[in-house]
């Protein structure tokens, strides 16, 4: 149980003298659905970048006992860590099925790669069902609606069989129904995996988070359940500049500078 968790110790990321992540400690246990919130520039995306090997960092990030810092991006991915980006990146010219099939195949040998796909892998079928994209499987991913692209990305992480999903604002720009569907999808997914979600949408966070970490200026400001965090005076101050109403959401989710 405890072997698969994400353990972050004293993580620091510096860009040209600017410290974006400043000594973060995190313990995320298997089966958690952890939300990372915080104002713009708090270092949320940079934290995820560091965990997935996209930016250089110091400190320690361990997943399932294995140290991640210093490993190449694709090596980290092969350890079962997957992520999405703020803007959905799917392979637009490939079909939904092809997208999922590529995600499923990182371990394929050269011979399998050089052959044509004869049948749909079991994991792909399951991911199509989980994400509700079965009917769209032969459509090019480029024509999908915004929400569907996000689901496809999550589906790609599922067939990759990642143990840890890092999702960067998965519901930004989604309609209310799409948000609900995404939240339910995340709850299903997190039953047997660890999910970390960066989010600005507080309603969404309140509905679906199992635990929350608040980041501010590169540090963890507060951590706990939704209720605990909301009651935290420091959190209220960061969001509103004063202790105030329990509605700490910025009205519009704003894209965050990495």
Residues that bind another protein (CB under 8 A): 52, 72-74, 77-78, 82-83, 89-95, 98-99, 101-103, 105-108, 112-117, 140, 142-143, 156, 160
- Antiparallel, parallel or unpaired: β 219-224 and 58-63: unpaired
Minimum Å gap between C-beta 196 and another protein is: 15
Minimum Å gap between C-beta 24 and another protein is: 21
Q: Which is nearer to another protein, 86 or 187 (CB)?
A: 86
Residues 6+ apart with CB under 8 A from 43: 13, 20, 21, 22, 24, 215, 217, 218
Give whole-number Cα distances, 69 to 4, 9, 20, 84, in Å. Answer: 16, 11, 16, 19
Biggest CA-to-CA distance, the chain: 62
Q: Which is nearer to another protein, 161 or 232 (CB)?
A: 161
Minimum Å gap between C-beta 194 and another protein is: 17
Minimum Å gap between C-beta 102 and another protein is: 5
Q: Which is nearer to another protein, 3 or 107 (CB)?
A: 107
Q: Which is nearer to another protein, 36 or 141 (CB)?
A: 141
53 touches 215 (CB < 8 A): no
Minimum Å gap between C-beta 94 and another protein is: 5
User: Element (H or E) spanning 212, and its range?
Assistant: strand 211-216
Q: Which is nearer to another protein, 79 or 226 (CB)?
A: 79
Minimum Å gap between C-beta 138 and another protein is: 9
Tokens linked to 258: 């990495």
DSSP-derived letter for residue 19 is: E
8 touches 61 (CB < 8 A): yes
Please choose, from the candidates 149, 141, 194, 189, the residue with its C-alpha nearest in 3D space to the C-alpha of residue 172: 149
Minimum Å gap between C-beta 13 and another protein is: 16
- End-to-end, the C-alpha distance of the chain in Å comes to 33
Q: Which is nearer to another protein, 127 or 209 (CB)?
A: 127
Residues 6+ apart with CB under 8 A from 245: none
Q: Which is nearer to another protein, 107 or 241 (CB)?
A: 107
């Amino acid at each position: 149980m405890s072997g698969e968790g994400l353990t972050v110790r004293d993580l620091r990321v510096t860009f040209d003298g600017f410290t974006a992540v400043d000594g973060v400690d995190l313990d995320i246990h298997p089966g958690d659905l952890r939300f990372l919130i915080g104002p713009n520039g708090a270092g949320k995306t940079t934290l995820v970048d560091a965990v997935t090997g996209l930016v250089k960092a110091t400190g320690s990030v361990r997943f399932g006992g294995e140290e991640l810092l210093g490993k190449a991006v694709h090596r980290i991915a092969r350890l079962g860590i997957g992520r999405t980006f703020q803007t959905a990146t799917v392979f637009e010219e490939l079909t939904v099925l092809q997208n999922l099939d590529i995600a499923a195949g990182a371990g394929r040998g050269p011979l399998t790669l050089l052959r044509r796909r004869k049948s749909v892998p079991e994991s792909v079928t399951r991911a199509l069902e989980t994400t509700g994209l079965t009917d769209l499987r032969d459509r090019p991913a480029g024509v999908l609606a915004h929400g569907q692209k996000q689901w496809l990305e999550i589906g790609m992480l599922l067939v990759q069989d990642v143990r840890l999903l890092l999702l960067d604002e998965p519901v930004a720009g989604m309609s209310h129904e799409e948000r609900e569907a995404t939240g339910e999808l995340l709850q299903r997914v997190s039953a047997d995996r660890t999910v970390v979600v960066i989010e600005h949408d507080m309603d969404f966070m309140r509905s679906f988070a199992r635990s929350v970490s608040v980041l501010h200026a590169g540090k963890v400001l507060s951590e706990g359940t939704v209720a605990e965090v909301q009651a935290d005076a420091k959190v209220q101050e960061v969001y509103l500049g004063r202790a105030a109403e329990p509605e700490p959401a910025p009205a519009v989710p704003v894209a965050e500078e990495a």
